[in-house]
Amino acid sequence: MATKNLSGSGVLFTDRRDFYISPDVVKELWTDVTPFTTLVANREQRTPTDPVFKMFEHRNPWQRQTFLVNGTDIANVAAGSNSESAALTVDGISGLASTPDASWVGFVAEVWDATDSYATMLGHALITTATAADAVKFKNIGTTAIDADDNDKFVIIGNAHGEGTVSPAAWSDELQVVYNSTQIFKTPLEITGTLEAAALRGESSELARLRMQKAQEHKIQKERAFLFGHNPKGTNLGGSETFADAAITDASGNVVRSTVGILTAIEKYGTTSGDDQNRFTISEATYSYSNFVDDMEKVFQYVPEEGMKFAFCGRGAMSYFSKIDGSSGIAGNSGWTVNLGPTERSSYGFNMRMLETPHGVLALVPTPVLRSEHNKQMLIVSDENLFHSVYRPPVYQTNIKTDDAFDGVKDQYMSDEGIGITLVESHKLFTITA
């Protein structure tokens, strides 16, 4: 029966009409899927001699030399008396010999009051004697009496020595050792010989299509591992772990190594307060521009040469920091405006928006794998303290299935890679709550 119009039915509809506008084009949902891995791979690449690798790191002790009073009202020293205090028990030592010794003698310190979060200076002290493994004596070289109570902070501001004295005792700190491991990634693909030979729309070769798809999947798996990966042996970024190889095995008893990701490292070893704070939980409803400025002061405490840091954002975090007007976001809550540049393409090949802060510039990078539970997180990295560890570079292995003359093709992408992380305090993680 002849049809009188195009819509038709039967064979005309099911088989003769060509519904495909571009039969050789397949659209992918995400194309720019692994910005963090792209950054790491393009910044620095190292080839370890072992899948478990170590790194040295060092924090200059003179950046922050402090100690705390351990006790209550144990020293009351008048100004101008030239009298030595009673023995002052100390703890919370930073940037100095781990216990008071001769290397402490001669230090000049500001004394700050713990009762108002160290907003008030109590005076100036000269350390004159290290009396025991946990105690010192000092003289007041300021103009007000010093009553040192529990947790008051002594901040070293220099040293002073008498005429004709010999060289003071020397002290130096050790380098710290941190570690991580590479991880074996395998992403297979398989089709039958019949499918390989078929004439198809969408892609003329199903094998070619799968190669492209699985290449992207392989990159996504690395992106997830470099961000969220975990290893029970840790990395020693907290300075308290003992170096060891992997203790995890698969069902056949084969050792399985995994790399520790940057988010995992921050969550495990980071701090939620203090000068080196790198874990921030902020309220979407109450976070103000004033809070933002204070937090950015900590983010840019260690400023890179270019004055810019990459901030990898889930869509929720991207939206939040992009709300210049309205009832939500830092600008809406405070009445301030934020200079947020247009979306631009970085030299690494991913999109970003420049957010100017009083202390530096954040390059906001949409990051697809930061979704679901991580949707409202923003990871700010100091990329000079990250590197790509490649024990075995990525390879595409062909025809890996040979048993019983398999009628088809099985290939796989394989690599043995990881991420090196140092100076965890230089990396920051923001989590936005309702």
- How far apart, in whole angstroms, are the C-alpha atoms of residue 15 and residue 322? 49
Res. 30: pLDDT tops 50: no
Length of the chain: 434
pLDDT at 162: 94
**Cα 305 from chain centroid (whole Å):** 18
Letter for the amino acid at 170?
A: A
Shared domain for 49 and 148, answered yes or no, is: no
Q: Confidence band (pLDDT; 50, 70, 90) for 402?
A: confident
Average pLDDT over residues 368-376: 95
Residues 232, 96 share a domain? no
Mean pLDDT of the chain: 87
Are residues 54 and 82 located together in one domain of the fold?
Answer: no
**In this structure, what token pair is assigned to residue 292?**
């933002």
Contact between 46 and 390 (Cβ < 8 Å) = yes
19 domain-assigned: no
Residues 198 and 319 in one domain: yes
For the chain, how many structural domains are there in total? 2
User: How far is 282 from 433, CA to CA, in rounded Å?
Assistant: 6
Q: Smallest Cα–Cα separation from 431: which of 373, 345, 384?
A: 373
Chain centroid to CA 234: how far?
A: 15
pLDDT reported for residue 322: 79
pTM over 0.85: no
pLDDT level of residue 180 (50, 70, 90 thresholds): very high
Q: Residue 170 is encoded by which pair of tokens?
A: 């020397």
Q: Which tokens sit at 320?
A: 């939040």
Question: Which neighbouring-strand residues pair with 218?
Answer: none
Task: Give, in order, the Cα–Cα distances in Å from 214 to each of 87, 128, 207, 369.
Answer: 68, 68, 10, 16
Whether 104 contacts 130, CB under 8 Å: yes
Owning domain of residue 201: 35-58+178-433
What single letter denotes the amino acid at residue 105? V
CB-CB contact of 305 with 314 (8 Å)? no
Q: What is the CATH number of the domain that holds 140?
A: 2.40.30
pLDDT for 263 equals 97
> Is the pLDDT assigned to residue 328 strictly greater than 70?
no
Residue carrying structure tokens 């949902």: 29
Beta bridge partners of 280: 430
User: What's the rounded mean pLDDT across residues 29-56?
Assistant: 86
User: Is residue 8 domain-resident?
Assistant: no
Tell me the CA distances in angstroms from 136 to 89, 98, 153, 163, 291, one per residue in order.
Answer: 7, 13, 14, 22, 38
Check whether residue 403 and residue 265 sit in a common domain: yes
